[in-house]
């Protein structure tokens, strides 16, 4: 049901930032209305002589300036556009390139970042048609994305000028790219956007540029990934940036790319072996620990251990200096003593789930989970027969609990906590050992909780929650989905539905709908498959669920249909970390 470790960020105030976004949007719109292409090109690329300037002006025209804003919702975004004199009904499309750039800068799963592109039209000084390119990342109040918004507002990474290429063909594009490079513009990424069938080439502006914009875009309609590959090959080695659809560059040919993919199993087992040997715990000296000492400590063959450590160093899990090896921040997550330790996940993914993936071909051919083919039973029953494995599974689920830091601030939860009269109750259905419910109850002392789980898990949850104040406000009930209690105000299904096929999901949701009082809310926490097919952790977990549980990940629209089949309506969708979302449903 559960997995992974989150990235948390500070939460700045919203009101002041909304004003700041409106001011930035208005300034960008004013700039676009005022500029002439030839004058702007001469300012962007100082040193252009007359003939070359004329040639560039003939080949491309100033099209837009871009700004990234962070509205709390769709209504606020449309209001900001209208306040700046921009069409509030501009069509929105998913972003591929900007979402990828944000994810790389902030170490997030691209699926966490629902970036849209809007291009409200404006007119230039001679009446020519232009646009303000608005990138919008929705950041609800209290969202874990607020820190990203604060940093991006400060640095304005995505602000850029854009020129459209007239009649693009490979020869023209290569000539334009060469001209920009010759005058000091450095390659700064790019990508192909399949939603609009267009290719973008980003540059860093020359050091002596005469505008405040530090990035420039050339946009060519059509698929020009062959030219793009050469452009991306010029990126600095220290920060390679590739569009998800980009053709492999000269530095990495297709055979090398495929070989890297084929060796992914080696990485899984190297990390699992690091966890099994408790290597990170053995590196207990801040100055580093040598191979002989580590080998004695963990009971390993020194030369073989040295080979493993070199591989782990290549992965960035450990670092080496003259005094020996020490864990990096990445490797520290494999320390069993660390808060939010991912060691249980490494043991699960390198253990029973790894073994079941060897039977993926069986799953694809038969439609039956590889786990069941290997072990002769589903993974819930298999874990129930092995208390040690069951405990490891529960620990691996709990290790991802910090991913839910924003959930106690969800409007549904805060409204329940502030409601007058009797204390409101949060029902966590199949809530594991109570990590999520504990967070909600700890954040809101006025709330009460009910945790519904299998008998053996209920006892583990009781032990865990009794260590804090939340345990006194929690009722523990052993049962299954048919036993959903009818006395709740907020119901939570956290990473439950993806374990099951659609028919079983409908059965679970019907049990919830039948039990929920008329006023109650349902919060469903799941990864969402991106509707635009962009790379996502959810896509990987879709394969994992298919092979191990027979379940699946789904799009938001798919969940909306399942909810509708059970008499519930999807009324909200809030992003969390690592591709997860909180879907808010209630009776119509």
Name every residue whose Cβ is closer than 8 Å to that of residue 337 and which is 6 or more positions away in sequence.
281
CB atoms closer than 10 angstroms to residue 144:
27
CB atoms closer than 10 angstroms to residue 18:
17
- Residue 70: closest CA among 56, 58, 59, 80: 80
- Residue 200: closest CA among 224, 167, 170, 226: 224
HSE value, Cβ hemisphere, 13 Å, CA-based, for 129: 4
Q: Where are the beta strands (DSSP E) in 166-259?
A: 186-193, 198-204, 215-221
Q: What secondary structure does DSSP assign to 45-78, as a single string? A: STT--HHHHHHHHHHEEEEEEEEEE--SSHHHHH
CB 108 within 8 A of CB 577: yes
Q: Where are the beta strands (DSSP E) in 70-211?
A: 92-94, 115-118, 121-123, 129-137, 160-165, 186-193, 198-204
DSSP letter (8 states) at residue 331: G
- Annotation marks residue 2 as catalytic: no
Helices in 350-501 by DSSP H: which ranges? Answer: 352-357, 360-366, 370-375, 379-384, 387-398, 411-418, 435-443, 455-465
Residues 449 and 496: their CA atoms lie apart, in Å, by: 18
**Would the CA dihedral through 563, 564, 570, 575 be positive or negative?**
positive
Which of 498, 544, 581, 584 is catalytic? The answer is 498
Q: Which residues pair with 586 in a beta bridge?
A: 569
Residues 58 and 251: their CA atoms lie apart, in Å, by: 34
Q: Which residues form the catalytic set?
A: 498
């Amino acid at each position: 049901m559960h997995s992974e470790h989150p990235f948390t960020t500070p939460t700045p105030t919203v009101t002041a930032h909304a004003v700041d976004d409106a001011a930035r949007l208005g300034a960008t719109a004013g700039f676009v209305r005022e500029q002439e292409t030839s004058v702007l090109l001469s300012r962007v690329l100082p040193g252009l002589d007359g003939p070359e300037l004329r040639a560039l002006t003939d080949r491309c025209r100033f099209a837009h300036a871009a700004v990234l804003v962070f509205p709390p919702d769709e209504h606020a975004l449309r209001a900001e556009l209208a306040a700046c004199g921009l069409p509030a009904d501009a069509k929105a499309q998913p972003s591929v390139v900007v979402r990828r750039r944000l994810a790389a800068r902030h170490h997030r799963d691209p699926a966490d970042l629902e970036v849209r592109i809007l291009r409200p039209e404006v007119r230039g000084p001679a009446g020519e048609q232009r646009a303000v390119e608005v990138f919008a990342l929705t950041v609800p109040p209290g969202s874990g994305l607020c820190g990203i918004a604060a940093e991006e507002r400060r640095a304005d990474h995505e602000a850029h000028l854009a020129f459209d290429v007239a009649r693009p063909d490979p020869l023209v594009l290569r000539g334009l790219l060469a001209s920009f490079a010759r005058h000091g513009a450095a390659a700064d990424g790019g990508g192909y956007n399949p939603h609009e069938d267009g290719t973008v080439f980003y540059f860093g502006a020359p050091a002596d540029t005469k505008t405040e914009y530090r990035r420039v875009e050339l946009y060519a309609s059509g698929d020009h990934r062959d030219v793009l590959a050469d452009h991306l090959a010029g990126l600095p080695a220290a920060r390679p940036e590739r569009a998800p659809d980009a053709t492999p560059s000269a530095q990495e040919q297709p055979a090398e790319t495929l070989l890297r993919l084929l060796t992914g199993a080696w990485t899984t087992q190297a990390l699992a072996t690091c966890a099994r040997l408790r290597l990170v715990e053995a590196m207990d000296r801040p100055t580093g620990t040598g191979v002989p000492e580590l080998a004695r400590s963990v009971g390993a063959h020194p030369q073989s251990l040295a080979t493993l450590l070199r591989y782990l160093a290549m992965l960035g899990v450990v670092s080496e200096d003259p005094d020996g090896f020490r864990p990096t921040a990445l490797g520290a997550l494999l320390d069993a003593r660390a808060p939010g330790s991912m060691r249980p996940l490494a043991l699960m993914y390198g253990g029973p789930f790894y073994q079941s993936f060897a039977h993926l071909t069986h799953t694809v051919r038969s439609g039956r989970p590889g786990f069941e083919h290997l072990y002769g039973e589903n993974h819930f029953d298999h874990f129930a027969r092995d208390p040690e494995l069951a405990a490891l599974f529960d620990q691996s689920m709990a290790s991802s609990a910090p991913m839910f830091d924003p959930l106690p601030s969800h409007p549904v939860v805060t409204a329940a906590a502030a409601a007058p009269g009797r204390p409101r109750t949060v029902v966590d259905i199949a809530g594991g050992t109570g990590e999520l419910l504990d967070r909600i109850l700890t954040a809101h002392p006025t709330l009460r909780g009910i945790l519904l789980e299998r008998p053996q898990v209920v006892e583990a949850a009781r032990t865990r929650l009794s260590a804090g104040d939340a345990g006194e406000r929690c009722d523990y009930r052993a049962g299954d989905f048919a036993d959903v209690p009818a006395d709740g105000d907020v119901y939570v299904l956290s990473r439950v539905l993806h374990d099951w096929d659609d028919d079983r999901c409908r059965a679970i949701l019907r049990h919830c709908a039948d039990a929920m009082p008329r006023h109650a809310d349902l919060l469903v926490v799941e990864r969402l498959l991106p509707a635009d097919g962009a790379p996502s952790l959810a896509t990987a977990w879709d394969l994992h669920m298919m092979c191990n549980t027979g379940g699946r990940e789904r799009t938001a629209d798919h969940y909306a249909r399942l909810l509708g089949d059970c008499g519930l309506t999807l009324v909200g969708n809030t992003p969390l970390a690592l591709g997860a979302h909180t879907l808010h449903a209630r009776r119509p």
